């Protein structure tokens, strides 16, 4: 879109606007298609930075996974984005543009509009608080995409102050906590943010969030071989689950990345972990990874070269 395209304006006005102003819209730089139907897009910002977003289609849902920052400052050891320095926050309009472009992609390739949005791409949403909330305000506005906030999930690695702020702001969208380890000792090993936002502080913040909003939270838990996949680890996870009004624990398949030492557990170990949670009345769901063959799955977004 450029000022020259605004044919409802006079030619002189369009020329003056073009000389004095810019429209810093996001553009699609490259697109990659997975064998399972997932589509990964690399977007370019007006100042030349690259970010990635993913369209994840299923039989009943068409979900956009969007980024909130260029890079990330949290350095989680299992996440490819964590090995990229944070360049800057995305502006609210850049986040909105991502959603709009993925929605166009969904309509063109799948014949359906987006049904859901997850802030689970590059960056930590609660460290770009104002722009993330402003983008959601725009996405849910009748003048924007008119999407229900209940179809939007913001995932955080655990910024307790930000979780509390969401409660104070009485947000209507869903919240997910990327837990991934259920003791401070293990979480510290893989998520440095746990140094300043330990599990107790997160439990307190999540309970405050629920008290203010009435919205139950979701826990995200990636299984790593011989690290957090034992019955003892499941017991620790159950303890946390019972301290917070949570509607679901998403157990996530690990997707190996070049820089990390972790491995995916054997299928029997995954099934045993799920069975153990089920026996203890934990509402848990195994989330199978999508788009692994194009590095579009959970934890794999890293602006790799797309051919």
Q: Which of 65, 72, 79, 298 is catalytic?
A: 298
The answer, yes or no, to whether residue 297 has pLDDT greater than 60, is: no
**148-175 average pLDDT score:** 98
As a three-state string, the secondary structure of the chain is CCHHHCCCCCHHHHHHHHHHCCCCCCEEEEEEECCCCCEEEEEECCCCCEEEEEEEECCCCEEEECCCEECCCCCCCCCHHHHCCCCEECCHHHHHHHHHHHHHHHHHHHCCCCCEEEECCCCCHHHCHHHHHHHHHHHHCCCCCCCCHHHEEEEECCCHHHHHHHHHCCCCCEEEEECCCCCHHHHHHHCHHHHCCCHHHHHHHHHHHHHHHCCCEEEEEECCCCCCCCHHHHHHHHHHHCCCCEEEEEEECCCCCCCCCCCCCCHHHHHHHHHHHHHCCCCEEEECCCCHHHCCCCCCCCCCCCC
pLDDT at 170: 98
pLDDT at 20: 65
Q: Which of 19, 52, 107, 220 is catalytic?
A: 52
**162-179 average pLDDT score:** 98
The answer, yes or no, to whether residue 73 has pLDDT greater than 70, is: yes
> How do 39-44 and 50-57 pair as beta strands?
antiparallel
- pLDDT class for 261, splitting at 50, 70, 90? confident
**81-104 average pLDDT score:** 94
**264-285 average pLDDT score:** 97
Backbone angles phi, psi at 110, to 5 degrees: -115, -10
Lookup: tokens for 272: 């045993």
Contact 47, 229 (CB under 8 A): no
Q: Mean pLDDT lowest for which of 28-37, 173-182, 268-277?
A: 28-37
94 is catalytic: no
* Model pLDDT for residues 106-120, shown as the tens digit of each residue: 999 999 999 999 999
> How do 284-287 and 88-89 pair as beta strands?
unpaired
**CA dist., res. 108 & res. 114, Å (int):** 11
Lookup: tokens for 81: 């984005």
Contact 255, 292 (CB under 8 A): yes
- pLDDT class for 21, splitting at 50, 70, 90? low
Q: Give me the CATH code for the 24-294 domain, please.
A: 3.20.20.70
**CA dist., res. 6 & res. 4, Å (int):** 5
The answer, yes or no, to whether residue 266 has pLDDT greater than 70, is: yes
Distances (CA, A) of 247 to 58, 64, 242, 251, 306: 21, 22, 11, 13, 37
Residue with tokens 């989330």: 287
* Model pLDDT for residues 188-216, shown as the tens digit of each residue: 999 999 999 999 999 999 999 999 999 99
pLDDT at 10: 80
Orientation angle between helical segments 92-110 and 129-140, nearest 10 degrees: 40
- pLDDT class for 306, splitting at 50, 70, 90? very low
pLDDT at 129: 98
The answer, yes or no, to whether residue 286 has pLDDT greater than 50, is: yes
Shortest CA distance to 254 belongs to which of 29, 76, 20, 10? Answer: 76
pLDDT at 304: 52
pLDDT at 15: 74
Residue with tokens 């502080």: 201
The answer, yes or no, to whether residue 29 has pLDDT greater than 60, is: yes
52 is catalytic: yes
pLDDT at 307: 44
Domain boundaries, the chain: 24-294
pLDDT at 159: 98
pLDDT at 92: 97
- CB count in 10 Å sphere of residue 43: 22
* Model pLDDT for residues 49-67, shown as the tens digit of each residue: 999 999 999 989 999 999 9
Average pLDDT in the chain: 90
* Model pLDDT for residues 212-233, shown as the tens digit of each residue: 999 999 999 999 999 999 999 9
């Amino acid at each position: 879109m450029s000022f020259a395209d605004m044919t409802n304006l006079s030619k002189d006005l369009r020329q003056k606007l073009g000389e004095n102003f810019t429209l810093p819209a996001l553009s699609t730089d490259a697109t990659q298609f997975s064998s399972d139907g997932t589509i990964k897009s690399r977007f370019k910002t007006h100042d030349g930075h690259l970010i990635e977003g993913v369209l994840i289609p299923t039989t009943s849902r068409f979900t956009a996974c969007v980024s909130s920052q260029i890079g990330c400052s949290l350095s989680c050891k299992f996440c490819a984005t964590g090995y990229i320095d944070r360049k800057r926050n995305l502006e609210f309009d850049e986040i909105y543009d991502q959603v709009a472009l993925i929605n166009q992609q969904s309509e063109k390739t799948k014949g359906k509009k987006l049904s859901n949005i997850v802030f689970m791409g590059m960056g930590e949403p609660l460290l770009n608080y104002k722009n993330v909330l402003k983008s959601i305000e725009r996405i849910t506005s009748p003048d924007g995409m008119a999407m229900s906030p209940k179809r939007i999930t913001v995932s955080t690695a655990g910024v307790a102050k930000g979780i509390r702020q969401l409660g104070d702001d009485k947000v209507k969208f869903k919240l997910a906590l990327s837990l991934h380890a259920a003791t401070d000792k293990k979480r510290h090993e893989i998520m440095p943010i746990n140094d300043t936002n330990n599990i107790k502080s997160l439990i307190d913040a999540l309970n405050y969030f629920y008290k203010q909003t009435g919205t139950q939270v979701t826990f995200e838990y990636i299984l790593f071989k011989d690290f957090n996949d034992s019955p003892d680890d499941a017991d620790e996870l159950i303890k946390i689950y019972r301290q917070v009004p949570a509607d679901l624990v998403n157990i996530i398949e690990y997707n190996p990345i070049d820089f990390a030492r972790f491995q995916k557990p054997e299928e029997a170990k995954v099934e045993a972990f799920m069975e153990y949670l089920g026996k203890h009345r934990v509402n848990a769901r195994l989330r199978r990874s999508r788009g692994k063959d194009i590095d579009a799955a959970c934890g794999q977004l890293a602006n790799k070269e797309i051919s």
